[in-house]
Every structure is written in C-alpha cells, then in structure tokens.
Amino acid sequence: MPSSPGDYYRRLRLPQNASHQEIKAAFRRLAKQYHPDLHPNRPNALRQFRALREAYEVLVDRVRRQRYDQCQQGYSPERAITHPQTPADFYIRGVRYTLARRYRAALGDYNQAIALDEDFSEAYLRRAEVRYLMGDDSGVLADCQRAIALNSIESRTYFYQGMARYRLNYVQSAIAAFSDAITCDPEDAQYYYRRGLAHQDLHQIDEAAKDFRRAAWLYREQGQVGSYHQLQQYLKQFGTAGRSRPIKFLGHIAQHLTDWRPHWLAGPKNPQSVRASRHRRTSDLSIEKTIKNNKLAPRFSDQPNPTRRPVDHGIARDNLKNTAKNAAKNATNLPGRWPTLSGQAYWAPGVSSRPDHDYRPYRRFRWPTISSVTSMLKLLSNPAGEMLPLYYRLSHRQTSLVGYGLAVLANLMFVLGGVKHTTESSWLVASQLWASGAMMFVSMVLVVALTRLGLRVRSLWVADMFILGTTMLPLGILTVISAITRLFVPQLLSPSSLWMADAFLLAVLLWAIAQSLITLYSGVSHIHTFSEKLSAWFAPVVLALGLATGVGTWTLLG
C-alpha cells in the first residue's frame, strides 16, 4: 500500500494544499505503479488500486474535498447526511446515492442543492452525469451549458456534453465538445477515444486513427494494459491510416509480404476467405459483459470501458437493439452494402462494425419520393427545428447532392422569375441572371468556409453546401411569386385594389428574408457549432454579402 489507509492525501503522496492538476497527476502516476493490469499476480493489487481511486475521487471534487478536510478536523458528517440543510449537504448525499446507483434519489438531492445555490457548478455537473445515466440527453446538455458558464475549465463537463450530443446523433457537435475536453485535460485517454469514434462515424478515418493511437498510448502510459491491448486490437482495421508517409510505406510493404507469404507456410487459402478476413470487424461489448469484466469502471463511473460506444446504461431501447441485430445479420448476407450514417448510429448500442478507410458505401439512386418532398416542406416551414435532423439523416454524398440541388433549384427560380422583371427576355439575359445567382451562392460558401478556417471550426464542405443551398431556396421562391403576381394579379384585381398585391408581395419579401436568416443562423450555430452571439451577427452579414455579390455581378454583366 502506498501510504496510510486513512489519510487520502498520504495515499496520493500530496500536501493538503495540492492543486486540482497536481491531484490528477499524482493519481495517474500512482495508478501506473499499482494498477492490477500491471501486477496480475499480486493478490491485493485490486484493493490497493481501489484505495487510490477512492482518495482521488474525493480530493478531485472540490465540495467532497472540503467536507473531507472538515472531517479530519473533528467534524461529524452523519447528521448533515441524514438531515441535510446546506447545498453542500444535499450534494454530498447525492454523490452517495449516485455511488449506490440510486439515480432518482441523487437527482432529487442535486435539484435541491441547485435550488439553494444556483451557481453551484459541481452540482450541475453531477446532475448532468446522473441524467446521462438515466437517458435524459436534453437535460444533460442544459446542465452542461450552465456548468460551462460557471466553470469553463472542467473537462468532464465537456465530456458529458459530447456524450449526450453523440447519443442524439449530433456527431459533429460531439467532436467539438470532446475537443474542448481534450483542451482542458489532454491526458485523459477516453476523450481521444470518444472523439475517434465520432470521427469514424463521419468517415474521417485519418483523424479517427490518430485519436485512437493517442488514446492507446495514454492507456499504456497510465498502466491500463487491458484497455491498451483491446484498443490496439481494434486499431488493426485502420492499417496505416493517420500515419506519416514513411510509416505508411513500411506498413504497406509489411502487408504485401503478409499477403504473398509462401503457401507452404500458411497453407492454401481461398481468395474469398482472404477477402472476408480483411473485412472482419470487431463488435462492441454488451453492457452486461462490460460491467462484469470491468470491475474498475462501474456503471456510474465517468470513465467508460474503452471498447464500446456510448450506451444507455441499462435503459430499455428494444427498437434499437432489434435494429442492431437485423443490421448485423443483413451485413453478413450483403457484404457489398453499407448503411447510412444514421443507420450506423442505430447500430451503436449493440454492434459497431465499420468499413475500411478506402471503402465507399453502395447506394442505389432513388428518385425523389413523397417523403423527400415532405421533408423539404417541413424544412421550409420550420428551418430551425428541421435542418439539423435532416442533415444527420443524410450521408455525405446525399448532403452534397441536396445542397447543390437546392442551390440549382433556387437559381432556376431566380432566372425564371427575374426574366419576367426585365425589359427583354432572351437567353443572354437568362445567362446573366444565372451567373448572378451562382456568384451569390459561391460568395456565401467562400465566406462561411473562410470564417470556419479562421475560427478553426472543423466541419465539412458538404455542410456549407447544404446550409447555403437551403438558405437560397426562400429567395428563389420570392422571385417566382413576385413574377406570378406581376403577370396575373392586374388581370384579376381592379386598379383600386392593386395595393393588396403590393401588401402581399411585402409579406412574401419579409417571409423570404426571415426564412433565409433563420436557416443560415440555424446552420452555422447547430451544424458548424458557432456561438449563438456570433451566429446572430454572422447570418445577416453573409446574406448581405451574397446579395451584394449577386447585384454586383448583374450590374457588371449588364
């Protein structure tokens, strides 16, 4: 045993005024020295490591550490636990309930602690943890947002924010949250592992491989040999992805030597079996198996097992489980096909097979259906609520096609409506209108892309196309409606009633501008994860620059 069993500071070999970072560093150093994976033949290794972890979990928590220091000075905590009155009392009892897996009771105590002290950042974090275990992802995001506003350097807050976003299928936003967690604590392997899974779901294989290798290295350095070997086994499917060119070259040579080894050493192989072996994938562990095998990370732990995806911790989701089983069965029978990104997300609770880094999913072309038209109508009627779900239901190729398609459709509407407003109708005028609309779209795409680059926001070009194509559609509809009104309304209304047509066009103009601004704001704030304040200023600026570019192009060509 590293020190006395009673003094947490002595267990971690720390002074009583140790800082938060010093406590983390001391635990990781001693965990490597006493981890049971490194000492499988030592009978009391597990007990020693648990003693270290017990001390760490108390001292790393500001409130629990303060209460522990009071107990060392003769304070008796039993009355405060049985009859809590202060926010700290409810918080401490909530932690005890969490450790006992009494999540509803813990949630009630955290609610009471926050009611007594609305700036209790630790209580928001603990409540987010419990809500995540209970499956309340929207509650997790709300608590994490409040906790970040109170304490922006706590890495676990960003971690739970990323886990909730990931489970809600907001994969790109989850990557941003995991990146923030890594910025606050770059020595935690699980943050890299979770970000690697998110990158892999977006088919960003190089980034995923880099994160997985970093996580494996940290697991090895911190003495978690079992997690290291499991992740190394999982990394075999990536080959040399994410490595530098010399390492990739040597890796390809080794792979070719393995494939062309003499048949008298390996025996004859069926080419089909060789191909199948290369596409064999590692399945995630089930919740029950993980809990049984991973005694050091119980279900309430904030350090999940490094070989599974974010799970629901026992919350029943039979439809997801059935979908996972059927998907796995179909994947065996149809090796040439691969599900969409949304399908992969539904596989996550049970099976987590993934394609090679050079694999391209097979999808048959499908003509637009009634559901597609319905989705577009929903997007036009409620861009703030429908944009993000629609974006995550599409694959990258589908997102690109939808973005380009909407931009082309909007530009076509702009040409058809604009021709009716010009003095002469000719192919030259139509081409000038088309060029003006195209330059408007291209300029907005460039502004958004350059802004992302300046802010170092990691996102995709297809997202820019999707956001701005959707943004242009209301403007195209405005042009067509104005042309139709100009052609037919004078024939239907008397001259004294023409003001009604002007009022109608004004309403359509306001609707189109509002829809475009809301769509652009929702896209950059939710898909690109810009801050709300920046998005509120950025959306009208981008739209104004796009309109100015279109008008300038028309003036220049005219």
Of the candidates 536, 540, 516, the one whose C-alpha atom is nearest the C-alpha of residue 525 is 536
Query: In Å, what is the CA distance from 80 to each residue of 24, 88, 259?
Result: 28, 9, 67
Is-contact 462 396, C-beta < 8 A? yes
Of the candidates 18, 52, 15, the one whose C-alpha atom is nearest the C-alpha of residue 33 is 52
Helix/strand/coil for 438? helix
Is-contact 189 24, C-beta < 8 A? no
Of the candidates 149, 172, 147, the one whose C-alpha atom is nearest the C-alpha of residue 162 is 172
Is-contact 519 383, C-beta < 8 A? yes
Report the alpha-carbon distance of residue 275 to residue 267 in Å, rounded.
16
Residue 141: its pLDDT value, please? 93
Residue 464's CB is within 10 A of a number of other CB atoms, namely 23
Is-contact 241 206, C-beta < 8 A? yes
Cβ burial of 102 (10 Å; 0-12, 13-18, 19+) is: middle
Is-contact 379 387, C-beta < 8 A? yes
Q: Where are the alpha helices (DSSP H) in 350-455?
A: 370-381, 383-393, 396-419, 427-455
Two tokens, residue 60: 């790393």
Q: Which residues contact 52 (CB under 8 A, 6 or more apart)?
A: 2, 11, 12, 27, 30, 31, 34
Report the alpha-carbon distance of residue 25 to residue 160 in Å, rounded.
22
Query: In Å, what is the CA distance from 514 to each residue of 478, 481, 503, 547?
Result: 12, 16, 16, 14
| Number of residues that make up the chain | 558
Residue 344: its pLDDT value, please? 36
Two tokens, residue 437: 């609309």
Identity of residue 197: L
Residue 532: its pLDDT value, please? 82
Domain extents in the chain: 1-60, 317-359, 370-557
Report the alpha-carbon distance of residue 117 to residue 84 in Å, rounded.
14
Q: Which CATH architecture has domain 1-60?
A: Orthogonal Bundle (1.10)
Query: In Å, what is the CA distance from 541 to each residue of 225, 538, 551?
Result: 52, 5, 15
Report the alpha-carbon distance of residue 487 to residue 425 in Å, rounded.
14
First to last CA, the chain: 85
Is-contact 39 229, C-beta < 8 A? no
Residue 148: its pLDDT value, please? 92
Is-contact 207 172, C-beta < 8 A? no
Report the alpha-carbon distance of residue 316 to residue 342 in Å, rounded.
20
Q: What is the pTM of this model?
A: 0.44
Cβ burial of 295 (10 Å; 0-12, 13-18, 19+) is: exposed
Identity of residue 137: D
Two tokens, residue 97: 């309930």
Residue 182: its pLDDT value, please? 92
Residue 361's CB is within 10 A of a number of other CB atoms, namely 17
DSSP string of 446-496, one letter each residue: HHHHHHHHHHT----HHHHHHHHHHHHHHHHHHHHHHHHHHHHHHHHS-GG
Query: In Å, what is the CA distance from 219 to each residue of 189, 222, 307?
Result: 6, 5, 12
**Residue-level pLDDT, tens digit, the chain, 558 residues:** 444 445 776 777 777 667 767 777 777 677 766 676 666 667 677 777 777 777 777 776 666 665 665 565 555 555 556 677 788 888 888 888 888 889 999 999 899 899 988 888 888 998 999 999 999 999 999 999 999 998 888 888 999 999 999 999 899 999 999 999 999 888 888 999 999 999 988 888 888 989 998 998 888 777 777 788 888 888 888 877 766 555 555 555 555 554 444 443 444 444 433 333 333 333 333 333 333 333 333 333 334 343 334 433 333 333 333 333 343 344 333 333 333 333 333 333 322 333 333 333 334 444 445 556 677 777 777 777 777 777 767 777 778 888 888 889 988 988 888 887 777 777 888 888 899 999 999 999 999 989 888 887 766 778 888 899 899 989 989 888 888 887 777 777 777 777 787 888 889 899 899 989 999 998 888 888 788 888 899 999 999 999 999 999 988 887
Residue 271: its pLDDT value, please? 40
Instruction: Give the gyration radius of the chain's Cα atoms.
Output: 29
Two tokens, residue 256: 């070719």
Two tokens, residue 316: 């029943």
Report the alpha-carbon distance of residue 184 to residue 177 in Å, rounded.
11
Report the alpha-carbon distance of residue 196 to residue 505 in Å, rounded.
50
Of the candidates 37, 67, 45, 49, the one whose C-alpha atom is nearest the C-alpha of residue 11 is 49
